[in-house]
Amino acid sequence: MVDRKRELKEKYKQMKQEMGIYIVRCNSNGKCYIGSTPNLKGKINSTRFSLELGSHPNKELQKEVQSIGKDAFTIEVLDILEYDKDETKTDYTEDLEILKEIWKDKISGSKYL
């Protein structure tokens, strides 16, 4: 039983999370917030949670959510960054930032928070 738990923990640690670009969009006024993360599922969950608690680090986005209401906002994945075939690469920070800038250019005309 203990070995099985240890094996499952190790397997979980080795799993690669989906990384990429996400957007928080206000459906009523078109304003949006674009973010990048090495863990999309976790970041989307924490973004929802922090916006509901009133503690999101982007104060302008938080203010919009509090004044309009959380139901006016959607969070979606814009792009998934594939892992490099070179297994030794572990830091994708720069790749994510470049991809985020590409998406900001693609969604030009939007008002960013």
In this structure, whether the domain defined by 17-106 belongs to CATH 3.40.1440.10 is answered with yes
The identity of residue 26, as a single letter, is C
Question: Which residues are bridge partners to 99 per DSSP?
Answer: none
pTM for the full predicted model: 0.82
pLDDT, one tens digit per residue, over 89-110 is 778 999 999 999 999 999 876 7
CB contact at 8 A, 99 and 21: yes
pLDDT, one tens digit per residue, over 28-59 is 998 999 999 999 999 999 999 999 999 999 99
CB contact at 8 A, 31 and 110: yes
Q: Where along the chain do its domains lie?
A: 17-106
CB contact at 8 A, 20 and 40: yes
Distance from C-alpha of 97 to C-alpha of 82, rounded to nearest angstrom:
14
Distance from C-alpha of 62 to C-alpha of 72, rounded to nearest angstrom:
13
pLDDT > 90? residue 11: no
In the numeric block, which tokens belong to residue 17?
A: 């999370």
